[in-house]
Structures are given as C-alpha cells and as structure tokens.
C-alpha cells in the first residue's frame, strides 16, 4: 500500500491486513450461526400492514421480464415505485416462492446475515485506520491481544469489530425490519451502505485499474441502495466524510485521487429524488404544511430519544406507535435538549475524535431523510428505521466500554472481560429476539401486544380489531373498533368496519347509527354507503338501501358485487325486471362473472314465483364489492 494514498494505517497493523482473510473465516462463520439462531423461528407466512398492498396486491412483482416493468411498479397509496430495487427483490421472491411468504422471509434472513458480515468487515478495516488529526495512536490494532486468541482474531480491531457486529446481528431492535417484509429496504440500504464504505477504503489502497474497479463497485453499491429506500441519500456525504477522516491526507488529495468517484456518488441521488418528485405517497400538501413539519420535528425528539434508549435496553418493543404528533416544544424540551447536546458532541468529535464523530454523524445522517426532510405522517416513529443507525450506537457503546475496562483492569484483561460480557449480552439479546419473532407469527398476538403497550393509540385498536375479525371473533372486534372511535371520534374506517360487523350480527339499528355517523364525516365514502345499504336491507328498509347503492354505483358504475347487491334489493322491492336490466348491462362489461350470472338466474326464477324477503345481503364485509383503491387503507408505514 502507498502511505500517501491511504496514509492512516497504524504501523503495527499494516502487516496484518494481508492476513485478514485467512484469520477471519471462523469469526465470520460464528456470525452467520448467530444470525441463523436468532432468527431461525421467523419463517412464518403472515403479512402485516403495508405488506398487504406492497406485496400481496402488487402486480409489479408478478414477473421478472421485462426488467423495465419490474423497476417501474405501479403507483398507489403504498407503493414500491420509489424503491425499484426493493421491488425487484420481491419479484425474485415471487418467481421462486409464489405466495409462500415464508420464502420471502428466508430472503430477509439471508440479507440480515450478509449485512452483519459486511458490518464486521467494514469495522475491522476502519478500526485499524488511524484518523487524520489529533486522535494519535488510537488504532485498535495497537491494543494487545492475548496469545491464545491470535489464531482466532487477526488483531484487536478484528476482535472489537466482531463484538459490535455480533451484538448488532442479534439485537431485538432489528426484529421490526427483518419480520416486517415491506421494510426490507432498511436491510438493503444498510448492506449497500456498509459495502460502499468498504469499497471506498479498498479504492484508497490500490492504484491504476484496481483502484478504478473498487471505485466502480462503490458507485454500483450506492446506486443499488438509492433504489432500495430513500434514506440512502445520506450515502454520498457519509462516503465523503469517511474518505476525508480516515483515508485522505487533505481535501486536495481526496479530490485528486477519488474526486470523480465522489461526484458520481452524488449523481446517483438523482434517481430517488426524481422518483419522489414524480410520485410519493408521503409528499402531500398536508404533510408539507409548516405547522405539520414543526410538530413532526418535535415528535422526532421524543421518538429518537426513545430509540436510543431501546438500543441500550430493548424493552418494551412496539410494532406501531401511532400517528399522534407532539403539540409544542414544552412537551419534548428535555428530549430536544439531549439531542442538541448529542449533535454538538458529534460536531466536536468529528474534529477531535473522528471515530466517535463519524459514528454520531452516521446515525444522524441516515435518520435525516425520514426524521427531518420528509415528514412520514402515517408513522412518525418506527423502530425499523433504527436498523442501520443501531450499528453506530453499538460501536460507540462498545468502544466506550473498552476504554473504561482498559483503565480499570489493564488492556490485556480488558480484552477478555469485554469479550465475555459481549457473549453474555449476545445470548440475552438473541433470546429476546427469538421471543419477539414469535409475536410476528400471529396478527392477534402482535396487535394485542401493541394495544397493551400503547393503549391510547387508536390505530392499534383498529388493526387489532381487524385481526379479531379475520379470526371470527366478531364481538371482540366490535369492541376494539368502538375503542378506536372513542380515542379518535373522526376515525371513519373504524366506524365503517364496526357498522359492517353490527349488520352482520343482526344489530341493524346500531349499524345504521354508526354508518350514518361515518357518512357525516366523509360523505363520499362508497364503502360506508355500501355497508349502510346492507344495514338498511337487514332492517327491511329496501328503498333506503337502494338509495345508498345508487350512490355507490355512481362512483363505481359497473362493480359486479355492488351491482348484485343492488339487484337483490330491487328484487325485494318487486322491481325484478329493472334488476335484470342492470345485471345484463354489467355482464357486458364483465362477461361470465359468476356472481352476476348467479344473481341473474336467481332473479329470473324469482319472477316466476313469490319469495319472502331476504334476511341479509352481500357487501357487509368491509371492502367486499369495491376495487382495492376504494377500500380503507390498511397500512401506516414508511
């Protein structure tokens, strides 16, 4: 290596870099085994929230060819349009596993293990580098390593990197990203980001075609990450900081040797920015309003401090924190003060303690797109966003513990003590991770756990009610919908679903009251009108039922199941010929539709003989009879 290029490898570790690949195999194998043990019980077939629209209903993953269609999935309320590489990974899953969602989870576990290994390689390399500036002689490679460990770890940097990667790999805070399939983007971004920084370091080692190859690899990693999730936008700045802090002697040397690579990294940011400008479910007029942005920033103070605490003590973990935004600074002033102090400490450390400063900057910058730049109103606080920043927090914590132990018991004894504590901690964290994985195997368990931990979040009660409804526990579902409405009186979807279940339970008067309340809040909701029609039909008020269905059919003129419900109502009113006419018109649009054909035959038969009034009708299950874009939204996430 040319010291003028890399310039910052500790002299005592320079000779160890070449032996890294020979001595790193066993630690890597142990990392893989730890990841498999921690997540070995996560291969379930359950989808959650955004998974339903982004994966189950996503036509963009149904085929792998042509690539232009895979990389341009359809837009929607919850869409992968702005994350084409993420969409492509699910298309690969669909090609291999179809609708066996456990196959998709195997891919998540594979990516999780690869991310842990990439983090290990990056940290081991970075901890050997002596940063530019006043942090002299602090390379971990200079720390003494007991003789019995030299066949296992290459040096002290290798040992410390392995400890950090192990703790990160099995940490329960990562379970949200691994078990919630739609958040695979978090894993892909972390993998691409760590590989990018590793490639930047290797590019600084070489010269000629070898350096250019690594620079091209770095650019490819950055582009893949940009297509996976938007917070990869932090990558070009992080790569620039990493290069200047650890690799280049000056800004002039950096631009002379790798300026073209860094310019290309910045250009890759055009991909997600362009797609976000074309379409984004998160960039709305309401989300960008000044008051909303201010309240969102205040909420981030509360949320980020909680995430830091969970990194240290991962309990209680919450799947969904709700949409509630902080109202004013007085509610979060202490958290805001703490974050301000951490930001100031990061700025100081970038100059005086570059390793710690870079770790702090990494956390802030990766979180910035979702915490500062674009308000994610549907889910302002989410544990899955801590996936990559968690590694930086653990690196700071383990590094600080290393320093404390070295001063207390000496460097040699500190090495063994730290490793022992790390193994105990990894066992405990892994056990908690396996328990948390089990929560995701059943929506009833996951949402009951969420309601127990955040009882004042109406969306949690709503989704718990949905899970109860799917399980056939209708009375309990009604109670949870009612709780959601009590917490949020204008919760239209909860009112609509509660009214539907009440109608199914032959409680027509209650159903009508709830559905009329929903229509007062949102008069253009076709699902509320459809379910209100079913409630009126249950109550024997056929004219009112027909009136509501007429309104629905104005919004969706030839929707088959709504047409069937309207035709059956007309039949009960003695207007069978009129019902047959509309059924025939709808059959021209949907020829051969079985529900339409069955209704036509039934009404033809009824015209020849008297039939008693129906006791109920179709359309009272939430969402039945309406196309997906007309149904209530099931997702909240980012």
Q: Measured over all CA atoms, what is the biggest interatomic distance in the chain, rounded to whole angstroms? A: 99
Residue pointed to by tokens 């099995």? 170
Q: Quick one: which H or E segment has residue 163?
A: helix 156-170
Between the alpha carbon of residue 460 and those of residues 306, 321, 397, 466, 628, the distances in Å are 19, 8, 33, 10, 22
pLDDT tens-digit profile of 488-536?
999 999 999 999 999 998 899 999 999 999 999 999 888 999 999 989 9
Helices marked H in 40-100 — which ranges? 51, 67-70, 84-97
pLDDT at 18: 39
Q: Quick one: pLDDT at residue 80?
A: 87
Average pLDDT score, the chain: 87
Cβ atoms of residues 165 and 31 within 8 Å: yes
- Using an 8 Å Cβ cutoff, are 70 and 63 in contact? yes
Three-state secondary-structure class, residue 257: helix
C-alpha pair distances (Å), 356 with each of 39, 138, 361, 510: 30, 12, 9, 61
Q: HSE of 533 in the Cβ direction (CA atoms, 13 Å)?
A: 31
pLDDT digits (tens, 9 = 90+) for 210-253: 999 999 999 999 999 999 999 999 999 999 999 999 999 999 99
Residue 342's pLDDT band (boundaries 50, 70, 90)?
Answer: very high
pLDDT at position 621:
41
Task: Give residue 84's pLDDT.
Answer: 94
| Token digits of residue 565 | 């419900």
Rounded CA separation 441/332 (Å): 35
Q: Please identify which residue in the block is written with the tokens 């390593």.
A: 145
**pLDDT tens readout for residues 457-481:** 999 999 999 999 999 999 999 999 9
Please calculate the CA angle 47-49-53 and round it to the nearest 5 degrees. Answer: 85
The proportion of the chain whose per-residue pLDDT surpasses 90, expressed as a percent, equals 63
Confidence of residue 133 (pLDDT cuts 50, 70, 90): low
Cα 536 → chain centroid: 41
* Mean predicted confidence (pLDDT) in 364-371: 92
Rounded to a whole number of angstroms, the distance between the first and last alpha carbons of the chain is 43
CATH 1.25.40.10 domain span(s) along the chain: 490-630
DSSP state of 9: B
Q: pLDDT tens-digit profile of 585-602?
A: 899 989 988 988 988 888
Q: What is the pLDDT of residue 136?
A: 44
Q: Is the pLDDT of residue 380 over 70?
A: yes
- Predicted confidence (pLDDT) at residue 614 exceeds the cutoff of 50: no
State the pLDDT confidence band at 9, using cuts at 50, 70 and 90: very low
Domain 490-630, CATH among 1.10.1040.10, 3.50.50.60, 1.25.40.10, 2.40.50.140:
1.25.40.10
Under the banding of pLDDT at 50, 70 and 90, the label for residue 607 is: confident
Residue 9 φ/ψ, nearest 5 degrees: -75, 135
- The CA distance from 268 to 22, in Å, is 35
| Whole-number CA gyration radius for the chain | 29
What is residue 22's predicted lDDT score, i.e. its pLDDT? 53
What pLDDT is recorded for position 11? 36
Please enumerate in sequence order all residues whose Cβ is within 8 A of that of 151, keeping only pairs 6 or more positions apart, or say none.
23
Q: Which positions ≥6 away from 342 have C-beta within 8 Å?
A: 360
Q: What are phi and psi of 610, to 5 degrees?
A: -80, 135
Condensed to tens digits (0 to 9), the pLDDT of residues 248-299 reads 999 999 999 999 999 999 999 999 998 888 888 777 777 778 888 999 999 9
Q: What does the pLDDT look like over 298-323, one tens digit per residue?
A: 999 999 999 999 999 999 999 999 99
């Amino acid at each position: 290596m040319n010291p003028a290029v890399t310039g910052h490898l500790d002299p005592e570790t320079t000779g160890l870099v070449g032996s890294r690949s020979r001595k790193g195999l066993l630690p890597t194998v142990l990392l893989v085994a730890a990841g498999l043990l921690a997540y070995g019980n996560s291969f379930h077939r359950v989808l959650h929230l955004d998974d339903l629209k982004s994966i189950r209903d996503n036509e963009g993953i149904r085929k792998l060819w042509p690539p232009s269609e895979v990389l341009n999935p359809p837009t929607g309320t919850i869409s992968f349009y702005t994350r084409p590489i993420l969409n492509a990974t699910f298309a690969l899953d669909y090609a291999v596993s179809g609708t066996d969602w456990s196959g998709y989870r195997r891919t998540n576990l594979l990516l999780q293990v690869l991310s842990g290994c990439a983090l290990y390689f990056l940290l081991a390399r970075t901890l050997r580098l002596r940063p530019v500036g006043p942090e002299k002689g602090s390379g971990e490679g200079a720390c003494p390593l007991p003789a019995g460990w030299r066949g296992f770890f290459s040096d002290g940097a290798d040992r410390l990197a392995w400890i950090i990667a192990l703790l990160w790999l099995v940490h329960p805070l990562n379970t949200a990203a691994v078990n919630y399939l739609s958040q695979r983007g978090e894993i892909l971004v972390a993998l691409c980001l760590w590989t990018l920084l590793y490639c930047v370091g290797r590019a600084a080692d070489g010269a000629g075609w070898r350096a250019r190859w690594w620079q091209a690899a770095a650019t490819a990693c950055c582009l893949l990450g940009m297509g996976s999730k938007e917070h990869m936008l932090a990558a070009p700045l992080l790569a620039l900081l990493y290069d200047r802090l650890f690799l280049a002697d000056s800004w002039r040397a950096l631009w002379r040797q790798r300026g073209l690579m860094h310019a290309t990294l910045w250009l890759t940011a055009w991909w997600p920015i362009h797609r976000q400008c074309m379409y984004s479910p998160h960039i709305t007029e309401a989300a960008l309003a000044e008051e909303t942005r201010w309240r969102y920033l205040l909420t981030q103070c509360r949320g980020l401090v909680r995430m830091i605490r969970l990194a240290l003590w991962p309990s209680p973990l919450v799947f969904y924190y709700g949409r509630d935004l902080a109202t004013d600074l007085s509610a979060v002033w202490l958290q805001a003060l703490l974050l301000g102090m951490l930001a100031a400490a990061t700025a100081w450390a970038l100059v005086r303690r570059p390793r710690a400063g870079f770790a702090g900057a990494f956390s802030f910058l990766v979180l910035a797109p979702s915490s500062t730049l674009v308000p994610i109103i549907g889910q302002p606080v989410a544990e899955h966003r801590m996936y990559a920043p968690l590694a930086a927090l653990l690196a700071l914590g383990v590094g600080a513990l290393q320093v404390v132990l070295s001063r207390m018991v000496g460097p040699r004894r500190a090495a063994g003590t730290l490793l022992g504590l790390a193994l105990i901690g990894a066992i405990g964290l892994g056990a908690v991770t396996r328990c948390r994985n089990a929560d995701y195997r059943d929506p009833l368990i996951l949402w009951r756990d969420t309601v127990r931990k955040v009882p004042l979040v109406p969306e949690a009660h709503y989704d718990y009610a949905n899970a109860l409804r799917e399980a056939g526990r209708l009375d309990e579902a009604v109670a949870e919908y009612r709780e959601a409405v009590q917490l949020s009186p204008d919760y239209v979807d909860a009112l609509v679903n509660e009214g539907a279940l009440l109608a199914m339970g032959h409680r027509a008067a209650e159903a009508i009251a709830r559905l009329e309340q929903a229509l007062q809040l949102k008069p253009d909701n076709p699902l509320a009108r459809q379910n209100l029609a079913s409630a009126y039909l249950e109550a024997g008020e056929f004219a009112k039922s027909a009136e509501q269905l007429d309104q629905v059919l104005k919004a969706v003129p030839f929707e088959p199941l709504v047409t069937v419900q309207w035709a059956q109502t007309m039949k009960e009113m003695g207007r069978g010929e009129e019902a047959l006419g509309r059924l025939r018109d709808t059959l021209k649009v949907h020829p051969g539709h079985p529900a339409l054909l069955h209704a036509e035959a039934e009404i033809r038969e009824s015209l020849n003989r008297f039939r008693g009034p129906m006791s109920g009708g179709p359309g009272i299950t939430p969402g039945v009879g309406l196309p997906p874009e007309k149904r209530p939204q099931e997702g909240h996430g980012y």
